[in-house]
Structure formats: structure tokens, C-alpha cells
Amino acid sequence: MSEPSPRPLAEAKRAAATDHVLAATRRLVIGSGLDVTMDALAEVSGVSRRTLFRMFGTREALIAAAFDAGMAGYGRKLPEFDGDLNGWLRATCAEAHRMNSVIGPGFFELASRTDLPPDLARSERRRRSDFRAMAVRTAETAWRAAGRDGAPPPELIDTVGAHLSPHFTAAATVEGGRDWRTAAELAYAAILAALQRLQRDTLT
């Protein structure tokens, strides 16, 4: 059987250009909010407004695609379980809060506004669904690593979700005046404590 041919150079260049535009858009929107103009997005992306409209159709579709790509990258960067529950959980908390630490006003606006345009509303629903799925996977891994069978208790899933959330990072860094490393350690301690308590509860 012959090997599949590599992607044509033009296709690879288009994919790289799209990735660049999405990353530049995400950085600007996260830092400045959802109301950035197409002119500003074109400037930070290094392409014309016409090109952006040709690629994405609307400003809202571009912003939604940028957030979708960011959430996909978020999940891929979390560490795989390596057999060491404490080390893996601490590393997961550290990586989640390191990534959360660069989130700015645009994310919190997306997460809190109730008047989002359809493209952005769909993106936010996907983000919440993907984040919940990540919390479930993390709780399942921790529960199995602790020697428990079956699905993890809902309380463990909720504890993971709450303590890996960007809102938790913001509470520690903005309200508490600490850095993301403190948020990560607080999250690790809370999740581990919940896991240990729920383990004991299942034995009684």
C-alpha cells in the first residue's frame, strides 16, 4: 500500500495562515473584549479586512472560531496520567491555571453575557460542554487511580470543574493578589481532599 501523499504546499500555507489569524484574534479579544472591530482584527492578524471576511464570513464567526481553536488546544495541553496520582494531579492543576492566567476580559465577557450573537453563543455552549467533559475525564482518571471502580461521584466532578475554572484563577490572582501557581496549589489541595474524603465515604 502506498503512503499517503503529503499535503500540497498551498494547503499547508493556508492552514498555517488560518492558525495565525485565529491565534492573533484570540489574543486581542481576550485582552480587549468582544467588541473589537474587524479593522483591529485585520491589523493584528496582518491581513486585510477583505481577506478576513472571505475566510470567515463575519466578525462574530471569526471570534467564535478563535475561541473554539483555543479550547481545543487547552485540552491537548493537559498532561496524560503517568501512574503517579499526586504528581499528575498537581501537574494538571498547574497547567490548567498557567493557561488560565492569560485569560482576560474577553473570556469573562463571553462567559457572562446573555445577549451574545448566535455564532458566539454557540461557541460559548461548546466551550462549556468541552470544559465539563474535561472535568469529567479528570475526575474519572483520579477516581480510577485511587483504586475505585465505576463512575466518580458527581461531587468530585464538580470540585474538579470549579477548581480548574478560569474563574478560580481570577479569584486567586485578581481578588487574592496571588499568582497562578497559588491558584494551582489551592486547586490541587481541594481536589485531593475531596477525592480522599469521597473515598472514605464509599467505605462506610
Domain boundaries, the chain: 9-203
What is each CA distance from 165 to 20, 64, 90, 103, 143, in whole angstroms?
26, 20, 15, 11, 20
Backbone angles phi, psi at 152, to 5 degrees: -70, 155
**pLDDT of the residue at 4:** 55
**pLDDT of the residue at 18:** 93
18: number of Cβ within 10 Å: 14
Scanning 46-117, the segments in alpha helix (DSSP H) are 49-56, 59-77, 85-100, 105-112
| Selected residue with higher pLDDT from 157 and 17 | 157
12: number of Cβ within 10 Å: 11
Contact 168, 162 (CB under 8 A): yes
**pLDDT of the residue at 6:** 57
Average pLDDT over residues 121-134: 94
Provide the grid cell at 138: 479528570
3-class secondary structure, 134 = helix
Residue type, 6: P
Q: State yes or no: pLDDT of 5 exceeds 60.
A: no
In terms of Cα–Cα distance, which of 107, 98, 95 is closest to 179? 98
CATH number, span 9-203: 1.10.357.10
CA–CA separation, 204 and 193 (whole Å)? 17
pLDDT classification of 8: cutoffs 50, 70, 90: confident
pTM for the model stands at: 0.84
CA–CA separation, 183 and 179 (whole Å)? 7
- Arithmetic mean of pLDDT over the chain: 92
In terms of Cα–Cα distance, which of 134, 124, 131, 133 is closest to 66? 124
CA–CA separation, 107 and 99 (whole Å)? 12
Backbone angles phi, psi at 91, to 5 degrees: -65, -35
CA–CA separation, 65 and 120 (whole Å)? 9
Read off the pLDDT of residues 25-78 as tens digits, 9 standing for 90 and up: 999 999 999 999 999 999 999 999 999 999 999 999 999 999 999 888 888 899
**pLDDT of the residue at 3:** 57
